[in-house]
Structure formats: C-alpha cells, structure tokens
Amino acid sequence: MTTEQPQFDDEDAVGLPIAYDSRTGYDSEADVLDAARRVADEVLRPNAEAVDTADGPRKQNFEALAAAGLLGLAVPRKYGGLDVSGTTQRNVTEILASACGATNFIQAQHHGPCRMIAACQSEILKSTLLPRLATGELMCAISFAHLRRMGEPVLAASRVDGGYLLNGTTPWVTGWGIMNQVVFGATLPDDRFIYVWVPADRNDFPHLFENVMPSNGKWGTLMASQPLKLAVMNSTSTVELTCTNLFIPDDYVLSFSDRETMQRNDRNGVLGAAAMPIGCAAGSIAVLCKLAEQRNIPAVKRSADKFTRELTELRNAAYDFKTGVTGTQQDAIDLRAHLIQFAMRAAHAAVAASSGAAIYTSNPAQRLLREAMFYTVQAQTREVMDSILVLLEHNS
C-alpha cells in the first residue's frame, strides 16, 4: 500500500495556528447556520415537491450544500472540514429538514460515517477519504440500524486471514448512487459489533487497494437492490445491500462495539433524533403562517400562532434537556414521542388549512405530513415505539 498522503496541518509554515476562517471560509459557526438557511431558502425549499416526486436525489441540491462546505460539517478541519459543534450540526439538520426532508436525510446520513472514519486508526483511509468527503466530492452511506434487531444477525462478520468476511442483506441504505461507499455495522460470532468501511467499487480507490489481496484471492460481492419504492423519501435512493463473502481488509475496520453500548447510546441520545421532526414541524408552521397571511381566515391565524408558541416550547425542552437535571431518561423518550406527534399534528394542521389544494402532489403540506410519518419510525428503538403508542392510545 502506498504511503503518499495529502498534507493537512493545524499550523502554518512558521508554526502559528491557522485561523478557523482561513481554512473554512467562515468566521464563526453562526455564519455556518446562515449558509444553511441560504441554501435551504434558495435551493432546497423551492424544489422540495419536485424532489419528493422524483426518482432520485437532486444533484444541484448537493452541489449547493457542497459549495457551502456543509457536507464537511463532521470532518476535522485538518482534513478540510468544518468540524462544527454538535449544537451547530443539530441546528443545520433542523434548518434543512424544514426545507426538504429527502435532501436533508441523505446529507444527514453522510456525517456519521465521516466522524467514524475520522476516529479510526487507519491513516491512509483518513488521508485518502476525508478531504474528499469534506468537499462533498465523495459521500458515504451508513448501514447499521439493523444491529438493533434481535435474533439471527442481519449482517454477519467472520474472521479470516488479513480481515473479515461479511455475509447478509442489510434492509436500509440511503443515498446509494450519490454515495459510492458505505460504513457497515455487522455482528461477530461472539455477538460483538464491528464497523467497517466498504467502497461500492474498489476500482474507484486504486490507491487503497493496490497492495491488498485476500489470502484466497476472492473478494466476494456487494450487490445493491433497485431503489426501494417508498411512500415518502422515495427520492433518497434507499436500497438493500447484499454482501456475499465480502472481504474487508483489517486496515478498513473502523471500530468494535457491542449491543449494550448501542442500547446505552440509543437511550442517552434519544433526543439526538429530535432535529428532524422539529424541522418538519417548523416547515409545516411556515406553511400555516403563509396561509394565515394569504387566506385571512381567523382560525388559520389562531392555529399558526398556537403552533408557533408550542414549537418554541418543545424546541427549548428538547435542546435544553439534561437527563437527571431537567428530567429522567423516560422523560427524554416521552419527549421524543411527543415531538413525533407534534410534527404529525403541525403537518396535519397545514393540510387542513390548505383545503383541497393540500392533496396536490405540488403542495408542501401533504409532503410534510408524509415526512412526519417517516420520523415516526426513523431511528426507532423499542422504547420509542412504546412511548409513541402510549401517547396515541391516550389521545383516542
């Protein structure tokens, strides 16, 4: 394997630290949020219904996100990324989700793998991939939610000379096609989890594979299904991926974990998924506010005001939540369920206030209602399912 690597330092030639803005083009994270708002308002929202009914992702949306540096949110600055705080990343997600759920969901999937690659031990992987993931020249998919399933592993990993073999079909991989690589989570024979990086096509990364060969000479296969036909997020190119004796060299193992850690992270991070339903609700409330101006119907104005106040309260509750300080772990789970239901209610209100026009595929209200349905199951854990079902039973 060659050791030639692009050089990125946090210091200039005489050892002085390089300023944030000289590397990123931004003076502060507030400017990053302004850029996200600009892309959302000028590029994403005007095309959201067209994207919703399209067969695949809209290239220009990703060019705009890339041009603003927003595909490098989770990449360290020394590799050309913005490496923003968790708070800024969450706020960017909310802004983009309010404008176009499908585009937001694809870009959101890219950031987790960027962080995982940045945290791995393989210098050649980091220096080869991260600068290109930061600019959006390349994007990376993630396939790990199946690890939450009980019973037989969905994707099994077994040890072989020089690496691991993967076997199985993972059910949900978003962005395939616009993304040419994936981070898989798989289950080892001792039930631990392993996370590995896999290219769609090794020939796209000759630098990474020129001196690597499985000991039996067999690479195995990675096959993608056709994009799944979905009631919402249909344009996200979400596929199933099938691995058959797929060889993963040791160098491309990112990390190891286990079910207990995943369950703990799911519980501690249950509100990490809050930004999408909050963004969706904000999008619906923007529709309500516009209708309140256009239609001069007192009930629509009243509803727009009420939902606006509730959004502020719920956003503060979710973003300021501290387990053990503002509430218990169960309170956090219940708040997530409440946010899902709020996104559904706000979108439903936007449908009601739009009258029959809501049913046109060109109308944002129906799209937002279906996007809220998606957030009902996205990153779903058993506890979140329990909590939302309790909430819905009590409302009946």
Ligand X SMILES: Cc1cc2nc3c(=O)[nH]c(=O)nc-3n(C[C@H](O)[C@H](O)[C@H](O)COP(=O)(O)OP(=O)(O)OC[C@H]3O[C@@H](n4cnc5c(N)ncnc54)[C@H](O)[C@@H]3O)c2cc1C
List contacts with ligand X (CB under 6 A): 109, 142-145, 148-150, 171-174, 230, 233, 238, 377-382, 385
Using CA atoms, how far apart are residues 278 and 41, in angstroms rounded to an integer? 17
Q: Which is nearer to ligand X, 13 or 150 (CB)?
A: 150
CB of 149 to ligand X, least distance (A): 4
Enter the DSSP assignment of 83.
-
Contact 146, 187 (CB under 8 A): no
CB of 171 to ligand X, least distance (A): 6
Q: What are phi and psi of 47, to 5 degrees?
A: -110, 10
CB of 239 to ligand X, least distance (A): 9
In the block, residue with structure tokens 């998919």: 141
Using CA atoms, how far apart are residues 101 and 232, in angstroms rounded to an integer? 9
Using CA atoms, how far apart are residues 92 and 81, in angstroms rounded to an integer? 15
Tokens found for residue 262: 């995943």
Tokens found for residue 159: 């040890």
CB of 378 to ligand X, least distance (A): 5
CB of 116 to ligand X, least distance (A): 12
Using CA atoms, how far apart are residues 364 and 205, in angstroms rounded to an integer? 40
Q: Which is nearer to ligand X, 135 or 380 (CB)?
A: 380
CB of 387 to ligand X, least distance (A): 12
Q: Which is nearer to ligand X, 82 or 183 (CB)?
A: 183
Chain centroid to CA 34: 20
Burial of residue 102 (CB within 10 Å: 0-12, 13-18, 19+) is buried
Enter the DSSP assignment of 73.
T
Nearest to 255 by CA among 244, 265, 268: 265
Q: Which is nearer to ligand X, 195 or 342 (CB)?
A: 195
Q: Which is nearer to ligand X, 97 or 353 (CB)?
A: 97
CB of 105 to ligand X, least distance (A): 7
Q: Which is nearer to ligand X, 37 or 192 (CB)?
A: 192
Q: Which is nearer to ligand X, 149 or 264 (CB)?
A: 149
CB of 167 to ligand X, least distance (A): 18
Tokens found for residue 2: 């060659």
Tokens found for residue 204: 């796209």
Q: Which is nearer to ligand X, 301 or 370 (CB)?
A: 370
- What lies within 8 Å, CB to CB, of 103 at 6+ separation is 44, 48, 51, 57, 58, 61, 62, 65, 96
